[in-house]
Amino acid sequence: MSPRAGLDLHTIVRQAAEMADTEGVEAVTLASLAQKLGVRSPSLYNHVNGLPALRSHLAVHGLTLLDEALERGESGKEGEDAIIGVANAYLSFARQHPGLYILTLQSPAVENEEQVRLGERLVARLLHVLKPFGLTEEEGIHAVRGLRSLLHGFAALEYQGGFGMPIDSHASLMYVLHRLLDGLRGSNR
């Protein structure tokens, strides 16, 4: 295979993201990626410093796409509608990008400033939609963790085929999400 003209980090990350979403994160190796791109593995090192660096780039790409999705889900909405919009956007992202989604779950690597910034932005966005509940700073963090856990649980169980009963899983999500919101409202009484 000869080097491919126009190969750049953006092209590499997009191809790796497609592989992660269709074949799984573990299928993304420098050798398999080079084969998909029609280049030799050493050619990738001109753009990315090994597999850990590639995964870091993929995490940033995934967090960027997730942030954009949550922004669309929240856009023009307030209160519970904003939270439901964000929840639906979160699950939609996890469904459309299962490989990238997995890479968004880890705490950002301190040395990757963009990943740290995007991780903080995700938390800030969720804190913002929870603001109408009048939570203290610490309660807000607890609520964000609870909301993320709820959404991740649904995403993971759905991906693994864990919702086999003939009851609409989206209705289950809305039921549990509303109970969470009821609890947040009740904590301010």
Residue 115's identity, in one-letter code, is Q
Burial class (CB in 10 A: 0-12, 13-18, 19+), 86: buried
Model confidence pLDDT, tens digit, residues 71-121 = 999 999 998 999 999 999 999 999 999 999 999 988 776 678 999 999 999
Nearest to 118 by CA among 139, 104, 98: 104
| pLDDT value for 188 | 60
| pLDDT value for 185 | 85
Model confidence pLDDT, tens digit, residues 146-186 = 999 999 999 999 998 999 898 999 999 999 999 999 998 87
CA-CA distance, 135 to 3, in Å (whole number)? 55
Q: Indicate the pTM of the whole model.
A: 0.89
Whether 162 contacts 153, CB under 8 Å = no
Nearest to 67 by CA among 123, 112, 11: 123
Model confidence pLDDT, tens digit, residues 55-70 = 999 999 999 999 999 9
